[in-house]
Amino acid sequence: MKIAIFGKRRQTPGDIRHITALLDRLAALDIFVGIDRRFYEALVRQTGVPINADDVFEDDDFKADFCFSFGGDGTFLRTARRVASKEIPIIGFNTGHLGFLAEQSVSEASTMVDRLISGDYTVESRSLLEGKGIGNKVKAGVSGWGFALNEIAILRQDTASMITVNALLDGMPVASYQGDGLIVSTPTGSTAYN
């Protein structure tokens, strides 16, 4: 089994103890662990010791059977964007403020590993959005948006004028909207509006 681990860079001392204990347990179980470089470096800074990992990866250069996300819903959403094209299930451990998506307690991480090993879990499929900016009026900074688990917001910038958004679904015209912007949401919806 291979697990890729992502997390917010600021964790409480208690959460760090849970995370490092889990990493030690995964190593003892001979489970391959890859950790996102930014999260790995933050853990090393906060603990002052090397962290148990088989791989430290950047960008999309990883393979895994499962992903663990340590943080709040924002961390979960960033993790989902990173693993979307790989279709890897994510378990969100809440060390943040909100827990609509990252609903597992970090103190229960060891129990979740036991459930994964025994096959005692179900995978909940979620819809994703992929955003692409096209056309000569689209700024260069909006290309390559990638995937969104919750929503994509298209907003006007640096203008008091309305914008026109032409929405297409799989290349087929849906509607044209004029206004300050447009939010397109998946059934997961925006945790910010909950």
What CATH number does residue 13 fall under? Answer: 3.40.50.10330
Is the pLDDT at 144 greater than 60? The verdict is: no
The structure's pTM equals: 0.78
Among 92, 112, 120, 110, residue whose Cα is nearest residue 25: 110
Whether 93 is in a domain gets the answer yes
Domain annotation covers residue 51: yes
Active site residue 54: no
Q: Are strands 146-148 and 151-155 parallel, antiparallel or unpaired?
A: unpaired
Q: Are residues 35 and 102 in the same domain?
A: yes
Does residue 124 form part of some domain? no
8 Å CB contact between 149 and 81: yes
Catalytic residue among 73, 120, 158, 170: 73
9 and 51 share one domain: yes
If asked whether residues 87 and 151 sit together in one domain, one would say no
- What pLDDT does 136 receive? 67
Question: How far does Cα 70 stand from its chain's mean position?
Answer: 10
Q: Is residue 147 scored above 60 in pLDDT?
A: yes
Q: Are residues 78 and 133 in the same domain?
A: no
Please identify, among 118, 147, 171, the residue that sits at the C-terminal boundary of a domain: 118
Name which of 48-57, 73-82, 170-179, 184-193 the model is least confident about: 184-193
Residues 102 and 27 in one domain: yes
Which residue type, as a one-letter code, is found at position 132? K
Least confident of 53-57, 105-109, 154-158, 167-171: 154-158
Residue of 20, 150, 33 lying closest to 95 (CA atoms): 20
Number of structural domains in the chain: 2
| Pairing state between β 55-57 and 32-36 | parallel
Identify whether 95 is part of a domain. yes
- Domain boundary residue, one of 58, 90, 118: 118
Mean pLDDT of the region 45-72: 92
Q: Give residue 23's domain range.
A: 2-118
Same domain, 41 and 106: yes
Residue 22 and residue 128: Cα distance in Å, rounded?
A: 30
Other CB atoms within a 10 A radius of the CB of residue 97 amount to: 9
Q: What mean pLDDT is predicted for residues 32-43?
A: 96
Could you tell me if residue 123 is inside a domain? no
**Does 47 lie in the same domain as 27?**
yes
142 and 86 in a single domain? The answer is no
Q: Domain ends where: 99, 118, 137?
A: 118
Pick 131 or 42 by higher pLDDT. 42
Residues 169 and 103 placed together within one structural domain of the fold: no
How high is the pLDDT of residue 7? 94
The Cα–Cα gap between 56 and 54 comes to 7
Residue 39 forms part of a structural domain = yes
